[in-house]
Structure 1
Amino acid sequence: MLAETICSAVSAAGLGIAALTAYRKRFLAATRIAAYSLVPVGLVMTGVVAWATGIVFKPTVWAGFAVLGLAWLLFVTTRAIERRGAGAGEGRQKQPKAAKGRPAQEAVAPAASVPSLGDGARSRPTAAAAPAEDFSDIEAILKKHGI
């Protein structure tokens, strides 16, 4: 009985903190905090100590698994939103604004986007010269990606 009361109080406090976080317009963090705070209630409702004896016959056990599933769904949803970049307002640094007359982001290797076709006057290399190929285009790609 005491463990259930403590877990319920911890969950209530966590949901309160999540509400305050949502009030501050930090919705992803609030959803994550709410998911963490639902876990103790879900564990209490599932009856972790004696779950094997009454799992089929207690509706509260299935409700507890539903709450744990909801918590898992909230975790997965917030991670997916965060990876897509929709949560750019939380925890990410703002991009510096571009000066007048300059592009917002400069290319890392501007010459890398230009094809290296040469002057076209060269003939095809012979079979003996194959190992000494020109790797400048590969180097340009690697420089473009910072490698």
Structure 2
Amino acid sequence: MLAETVCSAVSAAGLGIAAIAAYRKRFLAAVRIAAYALVPIGLVMTGAVEWLARTAFSPVAWAGFGVLGVSWLLFMTTRAVERRRGGTARAEREESKGTGRREPRGAVGPAASGPSLGAGDRSTAKPADDFSDIEAILKKHGI
């Protein structure tokens, strides 16, 4: 009963402030204040305030909030561990399914590790050929 009275008083005060804002030709602000002021009385009319008052003084409800908090904490801990490891347990099982062992994630083939030089064949390129362009540039600049 006290909560309903407080909510009604807050709504009345908010509507009064909205009326003052409208009187000062600040109509957008007045409408916004009126919208906020109607929320507490709307909650009283729907019965949400009574439900909240019952819940706030119920030890079972507080125990339920505690269980939800522990659940959230466990969920976030597992998410942090998954991020630190680099994947989920399901992905690890699928990776190691064929080989019987876990392979590192993100491994690429040896041909994919070098820079792309176009349509040329990498198997015929000599290591000296790779640096000839760089040497020419350095000589051009006198280095």
The one of the two structures with greater contact order (alpha-carbon pairs below 8 A, sep at least 6) is 1
TM over 0.5: no
- Normalised by the size of structure 2, how large is the TM-score? 0.34
More helix by share: 2
